Amino acid sequence: MDKKLMSKKKPAFPITKQLSNYLTEHSRNIKIPIFYDDLLRFQGAIEIYDEDGNDTLWVSTYYAEHERQEIDLRLKQMYTILHADGSDSILPFLNIDTIDFCTFGNSKPFRVKVRNILNDNYIYLYVKIADASRIYGLELEHLLSPNLINFLVHENTLIEEHISGIPGDAFITDQLEKCSLQDKTAIVKEFVKFNERSFTRLLGDMRSYNYVIVLTHDFDRIQYRIRAIDFDQQSFEGNPKVYKPQFLKENNVLVKMTSEILKEESIEQYKKEERSLLAKRASSDIDRLNKLLNCMRHDKISTPEKVQELKTGLLELTGDVNFKKSNNMGDILNTALDFIIRNYKNINPYIIR
């Protein structure tokens, strides 16, 4: 990727009182039994390698015995809050198999493997430092994408459920060339729509390892969907290209395949489809979306220089003079979404005005 596109490191931004109140209103901000700092008390760690012997940048942690028992109990309780009714009734049937720590990236997450001892089914959850940018990204994904997101926040801790799928970089390397032409056509169609969705809602840095490919087997085909799994770069960078996956070199294979398979008319059609779907989603829960955007407009999640660069770039791309009035990233995103919704209502005769 062009190093000029993105900053070397994005800082974490604190959660404002207004955002905290929003999260509380929508049952995202509740008391939890464990905090990120609790998991930092590990005594040592062992590097984790993949099946080919490559360093995964994750390490498997271990704790003093008396601390591990307490941490395991709290993590089980956390699981029941996130995925069940929060009661202790299922705790005897749960086991914490591993607690892994990632040494790469901004969020430095812990990955916790929770296993049901009755049937050996397991699920992962992630414990991270709460960052306002990421929380806005998660909530916008929940409201504006086809995917529902389950997460909880309390003070400095963020708990996220695992998003299942094949990592994009692994899929591109290991499986893409084995796909039939029909499957490749479906994949590049989804990439066009994912590209448009990321840009419209200003989610940046969608390199291939920051999204997953989800395969759903239908009766006569496989359906493909691309899902973002990293939301740190929500509305932070100033270069508009950061918000379009097509400009990130890690996606070059998909970009090339798109140009080879799809005609320009088809690409434009899929872009319009995604903008229409996004406008429908935004309109379906407009009160909640407006409350979230109002939090962003009163928050600082970027620098003045990046805000100026982005609003100027989007003004040039869209010709919408409302970008000139933007004072922060919340204003810019509000204008971008308003631009989409306004145009959608103008062209769709079935929208009630």
pLDDT tens digit string along 278-318?
999 998 899 999 999 999 999 999 999 999 999 999 999 98
Give the residue numbers spanning the domain of 325.
Answer: 166-347
In a domain, 3, yes or no: no
Q: How far is CA 114 from CA 21, 95, 124, 287, 326, in A?
A: 30, 6, 6, 36, 44
At residue 98, what are phi and psi to the nearest 5 degrees?
-145, 155
**pLDDT beyond 70 at 345:** no
pLDDT single digits (tens) 44-99: 999 999 888 989 899 999 999 989 999 999 999 999 999 988 889 999 999 999 99
Find the mean pLDDT for residues 218-237. 93
Q: How far apart are CA 310 and CA 62, in angstroms?
A: 44
- The verdict on 232 and 272 lying in the same domain is yes
What's the mean pLDDT in 249-268?
Answer: 97
Whether residues 244 and 127 fall in one domain: no
User: Residue 330: pLDDT above 70?
Assistant: yes
**100: how many CB neighbours lie within 10 A of its CB?**
19
Q: Quote the pTM value.
A: 0.92
Residues 248 and 119 in one domain: no
Q: Verify that 321 and 177 share a domain, yes or no.
A: yes
Helix intervals (H) in 54-131: 65-83
Q: Specify whether 90 is located in the same domain as 190.
A: no
